[in-house]
């Protein structure tokens, strides 16, 4: 159980730490490049997860996965902020973020089915290949000028220095505090899914494909939550 838990912790801890430097890079560099490199790292780490032949190799692959995934949200949200004007930005980001929830749901369901038929390694191989394709496509994204969607027009000055005061100012935003709390709770719950194999081994001598039922539950919750996520950003904009 401890080793299974460490696999999840390796990913999440590296993800949390790596998000900060990737965010700084996204503020100062070409954001589509940050995304492309990150998705490439993510895809290769997924591939090597399937190729792992020891616990140490599996642990390393899951840790590197956190590095790749850490690039996507900082650069992705920054790009969306310049793709869409303020009036439609919240809805655009909610649709974009819903892809994560839908992807996890489909991954649990599809991965469980693939693993039960072809073995667990095949599930990682089948995920890595399209990931590399999307990494190539990411390098071709349109890179707008920063602030292009703002009323004042693009901003061409140097990025502001990041200090502890900057973080303190950000934490004064109510929706940001709520988002941090929600994301923390979300990943706390998701970490529990890493114990699925251990639970399965205790529950039955037969290897039951529990991936698809858990994925079904996630799909149901996603479908009920997505309409609210589309409506909430616009309705609460005046308050937050």
The confidence score (pLDDT) of residue 165 equals 82
- On the question of pLDDT at 118 being above 50, the answer is yes
Instruction: Give the three-class secondary structure for 171.
Output: coil
Could you tell me if 196 and 211 are in contact, meaning their C-beta atoms sit under 8 angstroms apart?
yes
pTM: 0.73
Q: Where are the alpha helices (DSSP H) in the chain?
A: 2-28, 31-51, 55-70, 72-83, 86-118, 120-138, 164-170, 174-192, 196-203, 211-235
What's the half-sphere exposure (Cβ side, CA atoms, 13 Å) at 106?
8
- On the question of pLDDT at 30 being above 80, the answer is yes
Could you tell me if 209 and 71 are in contact, meaning their C-beta atoms sit under 8 angstroms apart?
no
Confidence band of 185 (pLDDT split at 50, 70, 90): confident
Specify the higher pLDDT residue, 88 or 201.
88
The CATH number that domain 2-153+163-230 falls under is 1.20.1250.20
Confidence band of 159 (pLDDT split at 50, 70, 90): low
- Give the separation between CA 157 and CA 5, rounded to whole angstroms: 45
Query: Which of 29-43, 108-122, 195-209 is predicted least confidently?
Result: 195-209
pLDDT, one tens digit per residue, over 201-213 is: 444 444 444 444 5
Q: Encode 92-119 in three state secondary structure.
A: HHHHHHHHHHHHHHHHHHHHHHHHHHHC
Query: Which residue bears the tokens 């303190």?
Result: 168
What is the average pLDDT across 128-144? 93
What is the average pLDDT across 52-70? 92
Confidence band of 110 (pLDDT split at 50, 70, 90): confident
List CB contacts of 195: < 8 A, sequence separation 6 or more: 1, 4, 5
In the chain, % of residues over pLDDT 90: 28
- On the question of pLDDT at 156 being above 80, the answer is no
- On the question of pLDDT at 139 being above 90, the answer is yes
Specify the higher pLDDT residue, 41 or 205.
41
The confidence score (pLDDT) of residue 140 equals 93
Nearest to 12 by CA among 188, 181, 214, 222: 188
Where exactly are the structural domains of the chain?
A: 2-153+163-230
Handedness of CA 161, 166, 167, 171 (dihedral sign): negative
Mean pLDDT of the chain: 78
Confidence band of 161 (pLDDT split at 50, 70, 90): low
Confidence band of 64 (pLDDT split at 50, 70, 90): very high
């Amino acid at each position: 159980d401890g080793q299974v838990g460490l696999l999840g912790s390796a990913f999440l801890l590296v993800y949390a730490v790596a998000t900060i430097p990737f965010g700084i890079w996204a503020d100062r560099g070409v954001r589509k490049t940050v995304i492309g490199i990150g998705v490439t790292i993510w895809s290769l780490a997924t591939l090597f997860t399937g190729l792992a032949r020891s616990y140490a190799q599996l642990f390393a692959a899951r840790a590197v996965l956190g590095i790749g995934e850490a690039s996507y949200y900082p650069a992705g949200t920054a790009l969306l902020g310049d793709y869409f004007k303020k009036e439609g930005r919240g809805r655009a980001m909610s649709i974009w973020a819903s892809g994560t929830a839908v992807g996890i749901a489909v991954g649990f369901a599809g991965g469980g089915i693939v693993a039960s038929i072809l073995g667990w390694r095949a599930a990682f191989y089948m995920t890595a290949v399209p990931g590399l394709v999307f990494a190539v496509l990411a390098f071709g994204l349109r890179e707008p000028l920063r602030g292009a969607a703002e009323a004042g027009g693009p901003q061409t000055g140097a990025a502001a220095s990041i200090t502890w005061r900057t973080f303190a100012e950000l934490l004064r935003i109510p929706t940001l505090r709520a988002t941090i709390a929600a994301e923390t709770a979300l990943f706390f719950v998701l970490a529990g899914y890493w114990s699925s194999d251990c639970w399965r081994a205790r529950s039955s001598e037969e290897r039951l494909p529990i991936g698809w039922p858990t994925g079904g539950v996630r799909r149901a919750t996603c479908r009920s939550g997505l309409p609210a996520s589309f409506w909430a950003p616009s309705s609460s904009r005046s308050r937050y």
